[in-house]
C-alpha cells in the first residue's frame, strides 16, 4: 500500500455517468479517495451514505470525495441514484488503479482466499501527494476521522 508523502497515482476512469475522471484534474483541491469492495452491500452503503451526509462539511474544507470500486458504470449509477449520492464514483473494472494504490489484496472469508479490494482511504493534498492513509477501514465513524485529519492537515 502507498505511504504518506508519495505521489498519488493518477487515473482516468469513467464515473457513474460514463464521464472520464482523473486525479490530476483536481490539483489545487484536497481529495478523499476511498476504495470500497462493492456497491449496494451493507458496509459500503454505510460508508457512502456517511460521506454523503457530511458532504457540505467536506466542501467547506475544499475537499472532493471520490469512491472507487470494480463495479461497472451502470451499477455505480444505480447505487448513486438509490442513495442520492452527491459525489463521484469511478469504475476500476480491471483493478489497475486498485493495484497501483496497493488495495487489491488477498483476502480471507469463511476459510476461502480470494483477491479483493481492502477498504482503504487516501487523503491527497492539492499538489497530488498522499497526506494520510487509512488501511483496513472500519466504516462506522470513518468519515468523522477523515474530517478531523483534514482540519489538521489544512
List the domains of the chain with CATH numbers: 12-153 (3.40.30.10)
Instruction: Give the three-class secondary structure for 7.
Output: strand
**Which set of grid coordinates corresponds to residue 139?**
466504516
Q: Cα–Cα distance between 130 and 31 in angstroms, integer?
A: 9
97-131 pLDDT tens trace? 999 999 999 998 899 999 999 999 999 999 999 99
pLDDT at position 64: 97
Residue 44 annotated among the catalytic residues of the structure: yes
Beta bridge partners of 23: none
Angle, helices 142-153 vs 42-53, to 10°: value is 40
Query: Residues 13, 23, 44, 80: which is the catalytic one?
Result: 44
Kindly give the parts of the chain with pLDDT less than 50: none
Predicted structure pTM score: 0.96
Mean pLDDT of the chain: 96
First and final CA of the chain: distance in angstroms? 23
Amino acid at each position: 500500500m502507498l505511504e504518506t508523502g508519495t505521489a498519488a497515482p493518477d487515473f482516468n476512469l469513467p464515473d457513474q455517468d460514463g464521464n472520464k475522471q482523473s486525479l490530476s484534474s483536481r490539483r489545487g483541491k484536497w481529495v478523499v479517495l476511498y476504495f470500497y469492495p462493492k456497491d449496494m452491500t451493507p458496509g459500503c452503503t454505510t460508508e457512502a451514505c456517511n460521506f454523503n451526509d457530511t458532504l457540505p462539511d467536506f466542501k467547506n474544507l475544499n475537499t472532493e470525495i471520490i469512491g472507487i470500486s470494480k463495479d461497472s458504470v451502470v451499477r455505480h449509477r444505480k447505487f448513486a441514484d438509490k442513495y442520492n449520492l452527491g459525489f463521484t464514483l469511478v469504475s476500476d473494472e480491471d483493478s489497475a488503479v486498485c493495484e497501483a494504490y496497493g488495495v487489491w489484496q488477498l483476502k480471507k472469508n469463511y476459510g476461502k482466499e480470494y483477491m479483493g479490494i481492502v477498504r482503504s482511504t487516501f487523503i491527497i493534498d492539492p499538489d497530488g501527494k498522499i497526506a494520510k492513509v487509512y488501511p483496513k477501514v472500519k466504516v462506522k465513524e470513518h468519515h468523522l476521522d477523515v474530517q478531523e485529519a483534514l482540519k489538521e492537515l489544512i
